[in-house]
């Protein structure tokens, strides 16, 4: 019997996420310094929140002078989609034991969820060491990039616009590659409805509304269309 993949295998699987996270986090750090946050504060936001889209919105809320608890409520609403990730992953992994879920679940971002799901769909067995390696390396890249960006300032990116553009496409490319790896004939209705609902949500609501619309409509389509 092959042993369960461990922490090191999870860390290797995190490489594409880290390649996407680090430059994105650098951009976050640069933006944080623009709104007046220190390197320590920018790093602290990434350590405590670890949620890319919410952190960028947090900078806008800080700059606008929003009340802290009102800002927190807005940011929590953006992260509501994460409530679906754990149960979907556990289903794909065959409901394994999860003694340390309170720890590794902290790292269950969009990208970590998508990478883990794609891996389990290929038949790889679940291990808490593997998912901890995946999540912690992604976390380290995000926090490290935030600190580097806040420390270096905006000159870091403006000198290399093509590199910045290419790095900015890493996350969409990662999602597209992961989508191709998990998509099957059975999931096509869910995927198609999710894509259309996301576009409609973006036109009618905002980015958060688009994401919630796409995920919920796609999942419901998977239930209703058989």
Distance CA 21, CA 30 (A): 14
Answer yes or no whether residue 124 interacts with other proteins by CB under 8 A: no
Binding pattern for the stretch 157-186 against other proteins, x by CB under 8 A and - elsewhere: ----xxx-xxxxxxxxxxxxxxxxxxxx--
Residue the block writes with tokens 């790095």:
167
Q: How far apart, in Å, are the Cα atoms of 98 and each of 1, 89, 104, 137?
A: 21, 12, 9, 20
Q: Which is closer to other proteins, CB of 20 or CB of 144?
A: 20
Q: How far apart, in Å, are the Cα atoms of 7 and each of 29, 52, 124, 197?
A: 28, 24, 14, 37
Give me the least distance between CB of 126 and other proteins, in Å please.
12
Q: Which is closer to other proteins, CB of 3 or CB of 65?
A: 65
Residues numbered 46-85 forming contacts with other proteins, rule: CB under 8 A: 48-51, 54, 58, 61-62, 65-69, 71-72, 75-76, 79-85
Count of residues interacting with other proteins (CB under 8 A): 101
Answer yes or no whether residue 140 interacts with other proteins by CB under 8 A: no
Judged by CB under 8 A, the residue of 26, 27, 108, 138 near other proteins is 108
Q: Which is closer to other proteins, CB of 6 or CB of 16?
A: 16
Distance CA 86, CA 131 (A): 12
Q: Is 211 exposed, middle or buried (0-12, 13-18, 19+ CB in 10 A)?
A: buried
Residues numbered 2-41 forming contacts with other proteins, rule: CB under 8 A: 15-16, 19-20, 37, 41
Phi-psi region of 83 (alpha: psi -120 to 50; beta: other; left: phi over 0): alpha
Give me the least distance between CB of 28 and other proteins, in Å please.
13
């Amino acid at each position: 019997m092959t042993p369960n993949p461990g922490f090191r295998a999870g860390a290797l699987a995190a490489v594409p996420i880290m390649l996407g996270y680090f430059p994105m986090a650098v951009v976050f750090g640069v933006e944080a310094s623009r709104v007046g946050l220190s390197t320590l504060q920018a790093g602290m936001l990434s350590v405590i929140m670890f949620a890319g889209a919410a952190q960028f919105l947090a900078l806008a809320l800080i700059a606008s002078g929003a009340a802290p608890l009102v800002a927190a409520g807005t940011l929590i609403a953006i992260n509501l989609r994460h409530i679906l990730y754990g149960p979907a992953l556990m289903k794909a992994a065959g409901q394994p034991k999860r003694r340390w879920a309170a720890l590794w679940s902290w790292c269950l971002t969009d990208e970590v969820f998508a990478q883990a799901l794609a891996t389990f769909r290929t038949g790889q067995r679940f291990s808490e060491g593997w998912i901890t390696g995946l999540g912690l390396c992604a976390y380290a890249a995000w926090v490290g990039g935030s600190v580097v960006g806040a420390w270096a300032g905006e000159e870091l990116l403006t000198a290399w616009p093509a590199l910045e553009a290419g790095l900015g496409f890493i996350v969409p490319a990662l999602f597209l590659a992961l989508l191709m790896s998990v998509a099957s004939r059975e999931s096509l209705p869910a995927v198609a409805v999710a894509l259309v609902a996301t576009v409609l949500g973006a036109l009618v609501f905002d980015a958060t509304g688009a994401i919630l619309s796409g995920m919920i409509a796609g999942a419901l389509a998977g239930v209703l269309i058989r």
